[in-house]
Chains A and B, each alone.
Chain A
Amino acid sequence: MLNSKVMQSSRTQALLLIGPALVVYATFAIWPMIEVVFLSFQHWNGLDPQREWVGLENYQYILTKDPVFWIALRNTITWTLLAVLFPPTIGLLLALGLNEQLFGRVPMRAIYYLPVIIAPIAVATMWKWMYDPFFGLFNQVLTNIGLQAWIKDWLGDREIALYSMFVAYTWQYVGFSMVLFLAGLQSVDRSLVEAARIDGANRWQSFKHVTLPALRVTIAIVLVLSTISSLKAFDIVYGMTGGGPAQSTQMLALWAFMQSMQIFDFGRGSAISVILLLVTLTIVVPYLRWSQRDEGASE
Chain B
Amino acid sequence: MTASGTRFEDDMVLVKRRRDPFLILLWIVLVTFALVWIAPVVLIAFTALKSNAEVMATSAFAPPETVAWSNFSGAWARGNFATTFTNSAIITVIKVPLGLIFSAMAAYALARIRLKFGKLLLLFFLFGAMIPFQVMLAPIFTLVNGFGLIDTYPGVILPYLAFGVPYQVFILHGFFKAVPKELSEAALIDGASHVTVFRRIFLPISLPVLAALLILDFVSTWNEFAMALVLLQDRHMWTLPLGLMSFQGQFSTDYGQLNAAIAMTVIPAVLVYMIFQRYFVSGLTSGAVKG
Tell me if B132 and A280 are in contact (CB < 8 A).
yes
| Pair B130/A261 contact, Cβ less than 8 Å | no
Contact B288 A17 (CB under 8 A): no
| A108 contacts B266, C-beta separation under 8 Å | no
* A13 touching B193, Cβ below 8 Å: yes
Instruction: Indicate whether A32 sits within 8 Å of B136 (C-beta atoms), given known contacts A106-B2, A119-B266.
Output: yes
Collect the chain B residues with CB atoms within 8 Å of residue A106's CB. 1-3, 6-7
Q: How far is the CA of A35 from the CA of B60 in the complex (A)?
A: 50
Find out whether the CB atom of B125 lies under 8 angstroms from the CB atom of A14: no
A180 near B: Cβ within 8 Å?
yes
Bound form: Cα–Cα A41–B267 in Å: 44
249-268 of chain A: CB within 8 A of chain B: 253, 256-257, 260-261, 266
Residues in A with CB closer than 8 Å to B265 are 119, 121-122
> B90 an interface residue at 8 Å Cβ cutoff?
no
With a CB–CB cut-off of 8 A, which chain B residues contact A16? 195
Does B222 interact with chain A (Cβ within 8 Å)? yes
A287 to B127: give the CA distance in the assembly, Å: 10
Contacts of B277 in A (CB 8 A): 110
Q: Given known contacts A111-B37, A270-B138, is B132 in contact with A253 (CB within 8 Å)?
A: yes
Chain B: which residue is nearest A101 at the CB level?
B13
User: A35: nearest residue on chain B (CB-CB)?
Assistant: B139
Q: Which 10 A-B pairs have the closest CB atoms?
A: A28-B162, A232-B132, A260-B138, A119-B223, A106-B3, A32-B139, A217-B291, A17-B109, A21-B106, A29-B162
Binding site for B on A (CB under 8 A): 7, 9-11, 13-14, 16-18, 20-22, 24-25, 27-33, 35-36, 39, 46, 94, 97-98, 100-108, 110-112, 114-122, 125-130, 135, 137, 140-141, 144, 171, 174, 179-180, 182-184, 186-187, 203, 214, 216-218, 221, 224, 228-229, 231-232, 234-235, 238-239, 253, 256-257, 260-261, 266, 269-270, 273, 276-277, 280, 284, 287-288, 292, 294, 298
* 16 extra A-B contacts, CB within 8 A, seeds A102-B23, A117-B269, A122-B223: A14-B113, A29-B159, A31-B143, A32-B142, A35-B142, A103-B7, A118-B223, A125-B258, A126-B262, A180-B288, A217-B289, A217-B291, A239-B225, A253-B132, A261-B141, A294-B290
Interchain Cβ contacts under 8 Å between A and B, 26 examples:
A10-B114, A25-B162, A29-B131, A31-B139, A97-B29, A102-B26, A102-B27, A114-B41, A117-B270, A118-B269, A125-B244, A125-B262, A129-B252, A137-B40, A171-B37, A171-B40, A187-B289, A187-B291, A216-B291, A218-B289, A234-B226, A256-B135, A260-B141, A261-B137, A266-B138, A288-B127
